[in-house]
Amino acid sequence: MEAVTSKTVDAFHRGRFHLVQPAGRGHRAGLDAMLLAAAVPDGFAGRVADLGAGAGAAGLAVLARSSDAAAMLVEREGEMAAFARATLELSENAAFESRTTVIEADVSLRGKARIAAGLGDNCCDFAIMNPPYNDAADRASPDALRQAAHVMTDGLFEEWVRTAAAIVRPRGGLAIIARPASLAAMLAAIDGRFGSAELMAIHPRPGKAAIRIVMRAWRGQRGTLSMLPPLTLHGETGNGFTPEAEAAINGERALFA
């Protein structure tokens, strides 16, 4: 088990939970994780699998909003899994420790290897994922831990969604946050696995192009694709969030309300 090195402790959801994160390196959770967690329905009472969980931000954000939910934090990198375990040891997170499991495993594992790692068939009610989004041709970070979290590999969406389809029970849910350029790959990956998909574009300001897309879909359903009204993060000027964005980011409303 790897030890936690230089770290910060950061508050989320107005202090309802805290996260131990690497200081100055690795992946540090922020807006994307909070928006992803907000894609889980209000009143969710099942088990959510946070795939590629890092220190556990999105999974814990679901638990902070849903008192009857449980979470599996699935993380490949041993150092980040250690941060997730340290997060659960914080006294501020005492209410979540018994409802959370950290699984150190590669999301792309298949078959018996996946099951042996703790990702059994139909073991969850919902899966959430914020996969690496930088193309390998983009300028890579010199920090290997950050690069592992941010650089996309060929077939990544297919591999991760395949795992989600195996571990999520029939009619259970899936939510993904990614850049708009990944939309075609997202839709191809869910084809035949998850349906009745809903898409929400996230815009930085009115009139500006979307910077993220959040997709939610349901295992085994065959409904048509829906494009929902977008979420705008900020107004025309200033750095404050819009009321809708503020509420979603802080766990006060579901994104797909």
Does any domain span residue 243? Answer: yes
CA neighbours within 13 Å on the CB side: how many for 56? 34
In a 13 Å sphere around the CA of 95, the CA atoms on its Cβ side amount to 14
**Distance from chain centroid for Cα 114:** 19
The verdict on residue 173 lying in a domain is yes
Q: Whole-prediction pTM value?
A: 0.90
Question: Does residue 108 contact residue 160 with C-beta atoms inside 8 Å?
Answer: yes
- Any domain includes 2: no
Q: What's the structural domain count of the chain?
A: 1
Per the domain annotation, does 255 fall within a domain?
no
3-state secondary structure of 20: strand
Q: Does residue 171 sit within a domain?
A: yes
CATH code assigned at 43? 3.40.50.150
> Which residues form the domain of 56?
7-249
pLDDT (tens, 9 = 90+) of the chain, 257 residues, equals: 566 668 999 999 999 999 999 987 677 889 999 999 999 999 999 999 999 999 999 999 999 999 999 999 999 999 999 999 999 999 999 999 999 999 999 999 999 999 999 999 999 999 999 998 655 555 555 545 444 444 556 789 999 999 999 999 999 999 999 999 999 999 999 999 999 999 999 999 999 999 999 999 999 999 999 999 999 999 999 999 999 999 999 999 999 97
Using only the alpha carbons of the chain, give its radius of gyration.
17
Contacts (Cβ under 8 Å, ≥6 apart) of 95: 63
Residue 256 belongs to a domain = no
Q: Is residue 110 included in any domain, yes or no?
A: yes
Q: Is residue 114 part of a domain?
A: yes
